[in-house]
Structure 1
């Protein structure tokens, strides 16, 4: 049985969330701060919370702006629904129900929690119990028949009382019991040869049986309804647990739920109580004075020592097994196969130690907060998964916030694994807790206004664009990862540089001209100053990378950056001017195809052919901007015109100098990569 749909109303910031579907294994609630994600999870939990969960309190939980309605009597707590959670029945649930019930495959059970803490239910896909309206005619005629048979006055009166119930009253619980008793009393009075009346008795008996079975079915489904467990903060496991102190606090019922919960979960996971470990830490039994003289005392002491040693062995084995299990969990998410977690009993202390790849043991609190959080999460989950949390629905509020982005990605996989046995609903702000393949699992939570309250959407189109930022960031990250798909990479300054390089390379390849070998990815950095950062990222991914910079001032500054010169060999820092037949200062990539671009510029209405020919060592873009204005001349339009022309005319249509410049550039790039 798992949740298929939910709706929250009249709870804190939620006036009416609307119905929203939940996935069978995992659902992700995404929204900005103060949108109401926590309120949704807490309200859903009220449907079937753990025993130690607090009750609903209208003063704290009813929307504060409407509280006066309750205080003045306009609204009654017993009429106010807080949460409706629908559970879809699976095959095992349906099989557990009485065979007399016609249970459809899409049958479901909806629990309704009211503000007065009363819980009611609705069954769907199972025929309702008969009502008084359906049975009234049979009851009236049976009563008349009994009167003719001169039945006792008490029976007749009981029938009359039953008939006073409204037509809508269902034959369940009290009514079913009353009717069953009357049918039993009427049976001996009805002549067995009277087919009409015996058939009437059979119909009434079947109605009472169905009502009783329906009541039994609700009891069965109630017992099978999963526990809803909410985690807002994952209780921390302490690196050093004082067993004697913890045992004493337990004995006097003075446990701090927030401070001690993680430690108690660890002990539960180990299968010990604090008192048991504390007694073991006190040492072996002391040899009594009569040990040598009294054989019975000696045998009892030896037996106690032997038993103590056995308990020590059991403690060691359990600590070791627990350490192995937690280590396996941590390695899967943390990505460090050398990492080992050890649980060590040292006198009155239970210590949680971490062994690094050097073999150094350190206490848990000396590791990062994210690592400590992960250890605590697995301890708490492992301790309760086989007991309280078995088949439970886990409501996780902002899990993994202290984990690094890449660790969050791995932890997301762990949540999916947990979802195989436990349905999970979790809220998050982090794009790394939402996979690009999980967008169908996302529900957007937003608060358009305080007057409307929190709303839940299954569609991505929402009123507040900030609500879907984690989804946009997740998609952006996945898109960015495609930039690292190629082994060889050439980083250039701008997008138009990429256009020129890819277009000429494709044209040359089509005509067996000189090309960039290995099909390197051409990556535009945006500006010359960012080239070094891009090269650093690519080199950090163990990819081959080279940089192509213009020969202007910005290119000079970028080429001499320490970050770039220390990262790349000299041959991998390429300058445009080095590939011209006649190098000159300020040359940009457009100058490699100077003559052809002069013609393309003329086609665009920027005729500077004479000037370009008269000033062969002046950059072409500088000439065009000076003669036609920087606002009119567009590098983008010029590059698109060049690509269209090259596609129609081919590589050989370039001038000899342009082909020579390209060949030199292609040779240098191939050598650098």
Structure 2
């Protein structure tokens, strides 16, 4: 499934966001305190990756300017629309045959823990009335014709059964009620034919079978529809919401990590270390065992290979400068070291001594890209939707552009992220940017703007409602010589 759109209502600063159309990567842009994060928090509550769906607190989440008595368990909060993949459509049709034209499904929740699902474009349950009446009209005389060939004591009961069948099969607008009666009437007719030892001709017999199948399909439709809705909720991708980004420490102790893992008591830093090892293709248990056996040569070969692979990956993504990553082992101490081979002096320092921006980028790559590849597992990349609140906040503008390229090139998952940085706005001609605004009683709303025809600083100004004229204190000649990137940064500030 792919998330096509969502709408948030009655949540914190949001009265009604309006439908928000999504692509694979969607930017929600806005100034501080416009309610961008609230959109992601509400959406995350529909199917959180970290646990079961729970009730939302009205005291904490219902808009503060409204009375709590207005909020009930059924007050809607999240409405989502999902596009089915072809194989999912086929699976749905096998479950519910009348869903053959369904390509999108919906799911939502309110303040209570219950969720609901729907099938967009699912037609009302219906039958070909003319065809059913025609079959009934032909079956009754066929039964009576078969009765004419019987002895008197057998003929009368069968003729009575034919008349009873004719009366019971009168079509009712309530198809479920009709189908339940039809099943009983058809079963009684078969029983009467068997008791009389009579057989219908092939064509009327086939019509009886077809009416049985029709009535069974109607009776089964209710449970099938319930199963289809349950299937939708079971198949919903999980939402991973991140507003605090994990940091990787430059040094970890492997023995301490393994001890904490055995007790299921890993700290946040240790969990990040485990993800780093998976991303680098290293097994802490193997490294610890080799240390205890005194096989330092093999340990060094493993970490050297892992460092070279990680260096190649980071250089592909981090365009600021070609840094080198090296993993060093000192007993059970595991160090992540970073150096700049192209610098005047190739000084090697621990990861946590590098710039905050590089630490963030490195941790993001390891924890999210490398980590999520394993987490998606057999469910596929579509099983997760990433909701990122202000990613890359500490990155230089050029590094923010690298992060956008990382999203585009390396993530198969859908990504919805918020930002107030003009450098985190995609530069594509059809950039999927949604503008968050907070206006008076309307609360947080989103709008889309056509960005294809706007470029450079004018584009930034259009997004942020900034004046395009240089400040009065700057002369016309000076304004003309200001480099493009600082000019944008000044406008954004």
Q: TM-score, normalised by structure 2?
A: 0.72
1:5-41, Cα deviation, whole Å (9 max, x unpaired): 1011122222221112112x21100111111111111
Contact 2:81 2:106 in 1 (8 A): yes
Contact 1:435 1:474 in 2 (8 A): no
**Aligned counterpart in structure 2 of residue 525 of structure 1, from 461, 471, 478:** 478
Partner residue, 2:461: 472
Aligned: 1:7 with 2:26: no
Answer with 1 or 2: which has the greater Rg: 1
Aligned: 1:457 with 2:447: yes
The 5-angstrom pairing of residues 126-205 of structure 1 reads: 126-127=122-123, 130=125, 188-189=190-191, 191=193, 193=200, 198-205=209-216
C-alpha distance in 2 between matches for 1:248 and 1:203: 63
Partner residue, 1:351: 335
Contact 2:53 2:113 in 1 (8 A): no
Structure 1 unaligned spans of 5+: 152-158, 286-308, 462-467, 481-492, 496-523, 541-673
- CA change 1:167–1:180 in 2 (3 A) is closer
C-alpha distance in 2 between matches for 1:436 and 1:470: 10
Partner residue, 1:265: 275
Aligned: 1:327 with 2:307: no
Partner residue, 2:375: 388
The alpha-carbon deviation at position 126 of structure 1 amounts to 4.2
Aligned: 1:415 with 2:407: yes
C-alpha distance in 2 between matches for 1:361 and 1:349: 17
Partner residue, 1:587: none
Partner residue, 2:165: none
**Aligned counterpart in structure 2 of residue 446 of structure 1, from 437, 451, 475:** 437
The alpha-carbon deviation at position 58 of structure 1 amounts to 1.6
Structure 2 unaligned spans of 5+: 141-156, 162-167, 194-198, 452-456, 487-493
1:564-606, Cα deviation, whole Å (9 max, x unpaired): xxxxxxxxxxxxxxxxxxxxxxxxxxxxxxxxxxxxxxxxxxx
C-alpha distance in 1 between matches for 2:323 and 2:98: 55
Contact 1:431 1:470 in 2 (8 A): no
C-alpha distance in 1 between matches for 2:188 and 2:75: 43
Task: Please give the secondary structure, in 2, of the residue aligned with 1:402.
Answer: coil
Partner residue, 1:114: 110
The alpha-carbon deviation at position 427 of structure 1 amounts to 0.6
C-alpha distance in 2 between matches for 1:124 and 1:33: 36
The alpha-carbon deviation at position 416 of structure 1 amounts to 1.6
The alpha-carbon deviation at position 219 of structure 1 amounts to 5.5
Task: Please give the secondary structure, in 1, of the residue aligned with 2:293.
Answer: coil
Partner residue, 1:247: 258
Task: Please give the secondary structure, in 1, of the residue aligned with 2:439.
Answer: coil
C-alpha distance in 1 between matches for 2:233 and 2:363: 32
- CA change 1:225–1:322 in 2 (3 A) is farther
**Aligned counterpart in structure 2 of residue 230 of structure 1, from 241, 245, 256:** 241
C-alpha distance in 2 between matches for 1:217 and 1:249: 43
1:90-123, Cα deviation, whole Å (9 max, x unpaired): 333324444545533x710111122212121011
Contact 1:6 1:84 in 2 (8 A): yes
The alpha-carbon deviation at position 198 of structure 1 amounts to 4.4
Partner residue, 1:90: 85
Contact 1:235 1:261 in 2 (8 A): no
The alpha-carbon deviation at position 472 of structure 1 amounts to 1.7
Q: TM-score, normalised by structure 1?
A: 0.54
C-alpha distance in 2 between matches for 1:324 and 1:180: 73
Task: Please give the secondary structure, in 2, of the residue aligned with 1:454.
Answer: strand
C-alpha distance in 2 between matches for 1:90 and 1:453: 35
- CA change 1:221–1:57 in 2 (3 A) is closer
Task: Please give the secondary structure, in 2, of the residue aligned with 1:360.
Answer: coil
The 5-angstrom pairing of residues 653-668 of structure 1 reads: none
The 5-angstrom pairing of residues 588-599 of structure 1 reads: none
Contact 2:247 2:360 in 1 (8 A): yes
Structure with higher RCO (Cα < 8 A, 6+ apart): 2
Partner residue, 2:120: 124
The alpha-carbon deviation at position 452 of structure 1 amounts to 2.7
Range 339-348 or range 197-206, more displaced: 197-206
C-alpha distance in 2 between matches for 1:448 and 1:170: 52
Task: Please give the secondary structure, in 1, of the residue aligned with 2:41.
Answer: helix
C-alpha distance in 1 between matches for 2:351 and 2:181: 66
Contact 1:280 1:312 in 2 (8 A): no
Contact 2:35 2:438 in 1 (8 A): yes
Partner residue, 1:669: none
Partner residue, 1:26: 25
How many matched pairs? Answer: 429
